[in-house]
């Protein structure tokens, strides 16, 4: 038998934090090194917002305090940016890495699991933030839409939304059998949910779509993001009851994700 | 006695009702190159995954580098000291060779220098090429580079050359030999017997979830005690009766001699041929191949078992 001595926890938290930051840099590098993926991810929301804004941007929404459509699209596409990164990109990326054996190899390397998952989350937050900033900036200087008024509520809404949709993204990845199916499954689910939840056009209260979408988390997140932009009437503020629903979805998805997460590819 | 890199004692693993491993025991000494052989479903991958700490056995005792590989308290220490190359080539397409190696080197407290790894796996000219542009053999070598960038004491290679062309296989073999010469313990699985003979000092044959034989490639299954087979083409003007030993025709003028006492039979045959000035065209002397031994060892044990459930 060997007489190896095993130092139980020789690693300091500070060096692990450095490892996490380093991993974030490489995650970002991996994202931007694929120019088509990066352009598509960042540009998609922007192109749609601009097209929708140019065609019908000045129409007023009677059931939403008479705000104009473009005023509505800025927060709704900001919400889209967060969901795209945290749910869509993350879940497809996880399935691809799992099936390629990358997750298994990572699991067998000394990087702690929290550092890897934390880096993936931070990296998605960066991509989400970039999208939000671009959408808000184009809204402000392209269409004259006022900047959000309540930055703390905005930040809190985005962080809660990002964590929740990340949990949903991880949970979703556990239900997808292989990397070929991943983009198809995720995109169909994602865009149908966006469509029925009022990202592309505002839902009038009490309509069939509004009722249908109340079963899913996207609608609540879009509502929550409208708050800090002052689209919910009165002063800009949080929409805490909608945020609470999003957070509940996040917690439930988190439980599913932890229970079902797998590192190894699903062969056969 | 050299220290044990691996001690596996009566490992047992079932997936629901299916027994994947039953009483699997073997040991690996430090610095050894050991091949796990067996048909698909024999339990090779499950065994590797238990040794890597990726799965826990239902019963049995396992120590790898002196620790329980699935023990969370020592897991990081353990992961610093092993390298893993999986069956799938686990490489992100957009990173360059140097980038992906640099990233993974950062996971380890004491990695091997990235440039040294690049030279070792023979990718110096491709160091700034993206992984997706590499050939199959180059990707596999990058994959092995990722397995050794942590400077492991123990390297797991799951079918390292499956799907490679002959020259890429040779290059991979010489890389593995170099690592072994440096003192790295290597545990590999393979379906190629020539690979096993070229690399492994010892073979563990698994079949139906149990170890059916262990030994060196030359002696496993009493291969070294099997009779040799001598074959050659008998000239037209010589009859088989004139030969000093009993021979049988296998096809046309080709004759075969099975010899237990190989040296004596060969000496008699060669002496006779020189005396009579008979040319023994196409002379071959072969021992039972490792493949034949392997097939006889694993026959009747084959079961369709899922390696992963």
Q: How many CB atoms lie within 10 A of CB A56?
A: 13
- Mutate which: B72, B90, B97, B309, vs A, most A CBs within 10 A: B90
Residue A12: per-residue pLDDT:
63
Of the pLDDT bands very low, low, confident and very high (cuts 50, 70, 90), residue A229 is confident
Beta strands B202-207 and B33-37 are parallel
Coil, helix or strand at residue B36: strand
Is A231's pLDDT higher than 50? yes
Q: What value does the mean pLDDT take over residues A66-85?
A: 88
Please indicate if any CB of chain B lies within 8 Å of the CB of A6.
Answer: yes
Residue B90: its chain A contacts at CB < 8 A?
Answer: 100-102, 104-105
Q: Helix axis angle, A13-32 relative to B97-105, nearest 10°?
A: 160
Taking all residues of chain B, what is their mean pLDDT, rounded to a whole number?
Answer: 88
User: Which of these ranges, A26-35, A144-153, B105-114, B204-213, has the smallest mean pLDDT?
Assistant: A144-153
Residues in chain B: 309
User: Which pLDDT value is given to residue A137?
Assistant: 92
DSSP assignments along B216-279, one per residue: -TTTGGGGGGSPEEEEEEPPTT--GGGSSS--EEEETTEEEEEESSHHHHHHHHHHHHHHHT--
Read off the pLDDT of each residue in A21-27 and give the average, rounded to a whole number: 93
Nearest CA in chain B to A32: B94
> What's the rounded mean pLDDT across residues B285-300?
83
Is the model more confident about B295 or about B103?
A: B103
pLDDT at B23 over 80: yes
pLDDT of residue A235 exceeding 80: no
Q: How far apart are CA B258 and CA B253, in angstroms?
A: 17
Phi, psi torsion values for A123, nearest 5 degrees: -65, -40
Best of B94, B98, B156 to substitute, by most chain A Cβ atoms within 10 angstroms, is: B94
Residues of chain B with C-beta less than 8 angstroms from the C-beta of A112: 76
Q: What percent of chain B has pLDDT over 70?
A: 96
Interface of B with A in 81-120 (CB under 8 A): 82, 84, 86-95, 99, 103-104, 106-109
Cβ distance of A30 and B95 shorter than 8 Å: yes
Arithmetic mean of pLDDT, A8-24: 77
Over 80: is that where the pLDDT of A236 sits?
no
Segment A237-258, tens digit of pLDDT: 677 888 899 999 999 999 999 9
- Preferred mutation among A110, A119, A266 to probe B, highest tally of B CBs within 10 A: A110
CA distance A19 to A11: 11
From B11's Cα to the closest Cα of chain A, the distance in A is 18
Instruction: Judge contact between B177 and B188, C-beta under 8 A.
Output: no
Residue A19 confidence (pLDDT) above 70: yes
**CB of A36 less than 8 A from some CB of B:** no
- According to DSSP, the β-strands at B33-37 and B185-189 are parallel
User: For residue A213, what pLDDT is reported?
Assistant: 85
Q: For the domain B4-216+293-298, what is the CATH superfamily, name and number?
A: P-loop containing nucleotide triphosphate hydrolases (3.40.50.300)
Average pLDDT rounded to a whole number, residues B69-95: 89
Tell me what pLDDT residue A3 has.
46
Tens of pLDDT, residues B152-210? 999 999 988 887 888 888 988 999 999 999 999 999 998 888 999 999 999 999 998 89
Query: How close B4 gets to chain A, by Cα (Å)?
Result: 6
pLDDT (0 to 100) of residue A8: 45
B-chain residues within 8 Å CB-CB of A108?
52-54, 79, 82, 84
Interface contacts (A, B; CB < 8 Å): 101
Give me the residues paired with residue B154 across strands.
B82, B185
Please check whether residue A265 lies inside any domain of the structure: no
The residue range of the domain holding A107 is 13-260
Residues ≥6 apart with Cβ < 8 Å to B147:
B83, B84, B85, B155, B156, B157
Q: How many residues does chain A have?
A: 268
Q: How confident is the model at residue A22 (pLDDT cuts 50, 70, 90)?
A: very high
Counted domains in chain A? 1
pLDDT digits (tens, 9 = 90+) for B32-43: 999 999 988 888
pLDDT digits (tens, 9 = 90+) for A98-123: 998 899 999 999 998 889 889 999 99
Chain A residues lying within 8 Å of B146, measured CB to CB: 105
pTM, whole model, 2 decimals? 0.83
Tell me the pLDDT band of B307, cut-offs 50, 70 and 90. very low
CA pair distance B32, B156, nearest whole angstrom: 12
Measured in angstroms, the CA of A35 and the nearest CA of chain B are apart by 10
How many whole angstroms separate alpha carbon B212 and alpha carbon B208? Answer: 9
Element (H, E) at B189: strand B185-189
Q: What is the ipTM, given to two decimal places?
A: 0.83
Interface membership of A30 toward B (CB under 8 Å): yes
Q: Is B56 on the interface with A (CB under 8 A)?
A: no
Instruction: Say if B63 is an interface residue toward chain A (CB within 8 Å).
Output: yes
A191-206 per-position pLDDT tens digit:
888 888 888 888 887 8
């Amino acid at each position: 038998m060997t007489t190896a001595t095993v130092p139980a926890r020789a690693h300091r938290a500070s060096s692990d934090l450095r490892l996490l930051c380093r991993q974030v840099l490489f995650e970002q590098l991996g994202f931007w090194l694929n120019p088509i993926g990066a352009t598509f991810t960042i540009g998609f929301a922007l192109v749609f917002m601009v097209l929708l804004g140019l065609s019908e941007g000045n129409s007023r929404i009677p059931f939403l305090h008479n705000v104009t459509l473009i005023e509505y699209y800025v927060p709704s596409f900001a919400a889209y940016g967060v969901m795209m990164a945290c749910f869509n990109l993350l879940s497809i990326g996880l399935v691809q890495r799992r099936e390629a054996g990358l997750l298994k190899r990572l699991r067998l390397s000394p990087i702690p699991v929290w550092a890897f998952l934390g880096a993936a989350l931070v990296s998605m937050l960066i991509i989400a933030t970039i999208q939000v900033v671009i959408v808000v900036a184009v809204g402000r200087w392209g269409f004259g839409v006022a900047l959000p008024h309540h930055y703390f509520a905005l930040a809190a809404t985005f962080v809660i939304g990002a964590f929740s949709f990340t949990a949903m993204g991880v949970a979703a990845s556990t239900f997808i059998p292989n990397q070929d199916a991943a983009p198809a499954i995720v995109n169909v689910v994602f865009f149908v949910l966006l469509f029925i939840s009022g990202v592309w056009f505002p839902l009038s209260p009490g309509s069939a779509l509004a009722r249908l979408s109340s079963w899913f988390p996207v609608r609540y997140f879009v509502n929550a993001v409208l708050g800090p932009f002052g689209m919910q009437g009165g002063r800009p503020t949080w929409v805490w009851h909608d945020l609470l629903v999003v957070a509940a979805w996040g917690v439930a998805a988190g439980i599913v994700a932890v229970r079902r997460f797998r590192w190894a590819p699903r062969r056969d | 006695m050299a220290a044990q890199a691996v001690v596996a004692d009566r490992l047992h693993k079932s997936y629901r009702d299916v027994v994947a491993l039953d009483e699997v025991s073997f040991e690996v000494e430090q610095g050894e190159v050991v091949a796990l052989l067996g048909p698909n479903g024999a339990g090779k991958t499950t065994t590797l995954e238990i040794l890597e700490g990726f799965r826990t056995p239902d019963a049995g005792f396992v120590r790898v580098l002196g620790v329980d590989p699935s023990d969370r308290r020592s897991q990081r220490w353990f992961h610093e000291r092993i390298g893993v190359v999986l069956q799938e080539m686990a490489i992100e397409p957009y990173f360059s060779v140097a980038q992906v190696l640099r990233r993974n080197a950062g996971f380890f407290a004491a990695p091997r220098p990235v440039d040294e790894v690049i030279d070792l796996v023979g990718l110096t000219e491709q160091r700034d090429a993206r992984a997706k542009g590499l050939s199959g053999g180059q990707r596999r070598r990058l994959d092995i580079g990722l397995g050794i960038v942590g400077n492991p004491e123990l390297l797991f290679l799951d079918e390292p050359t499956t799907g490679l062309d002959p020259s890429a296989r040779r290059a991979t073999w010489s890389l593995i030999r170099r690592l072994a010469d440096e003192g790295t313990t290597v545990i590999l699985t393979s379906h190629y017997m020539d690979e096993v003979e070229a690399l492994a000092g010892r073979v563990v044959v698994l079949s139906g979830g149990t170890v059916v034989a262990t030994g060196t490639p030359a002696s496993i299954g009493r291969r070294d005690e099997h009779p040799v087979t001598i074959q050659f083409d008998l000239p037209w003007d010589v009859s088989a009766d004139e030969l000093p030993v009993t021979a049988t025709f296998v096809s046309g003028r080709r004759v075969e001699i099975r010899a237990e006492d190989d040296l004596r039979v060969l000496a008699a045959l060669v002496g006779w041929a020189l005396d009579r000035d008979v040319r023994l065209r196409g002379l071959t002397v072969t021992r039972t191949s490792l493949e034949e031994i392997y097939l006889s060892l694993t026959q009747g044990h084959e079961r369709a078992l899922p390696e992963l459930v």
